Amino acid sequence: MVQGVKNFSLGKNVDIGAFTYINASHNVILEDDVQIGSHCSIYSESTIDGAVGEVIIKKEARIGSHSTIMPGVTVGVGAVVGAHSFVKNNIPAHSLAVGVPAKVVKKII
C-alpha cells in the first residue's frame, strides 16, 4: 500500500513484498533493482515525533522483511538491511546493517 502516491517514484525491476506500507507524503524514491521484503514500513512522515523527510532506496539495495525505514533516510547502492531492523540513519553503499536501531556491521564487496 502506498499513501501519497503522487510523491512516490518507482524504478525498474523493483520487488515489493506483500503487506508493505509506504508513506510517500514527503517523497519516497525506490531506484532500479530494489528489493523490499514483506511487512516492511517506509515513512517519509512520522506521526510519532512529526519528523518528515525524503526516503531514497538506491539501486540494488535490499530491505529485509519486517523492517522499518524512518523519514529522511537514504539506503545506499547495493546496501542490505537485515530483517526486523529499524533504520533511522543513512546506510552507506555496499554495507550490511542490522538491528534496532540498525547499525552497519560490515562492508559488502
pTM, full prediction: 0.95
Q: Taking the CB of residue 76, how many other CB atoms lie within 10 A of it? A: 18
Q: Contact at 8 Å (CB) between 66 and 46? A: no
Confidence check: pLDDT of 109 > 90: no
Looking at the domain that runs over 2-107, which CATH code has it been given?
A: 2.160.10.10
Write the pLDDT tens digit of every residue in 4-51.
Answer: 999 999 999 999 999 999 999 999 999 999 999 999 999 999 988 999
Enumerate the domain spans of the chain: 2-107
pLDDT at 48: 86
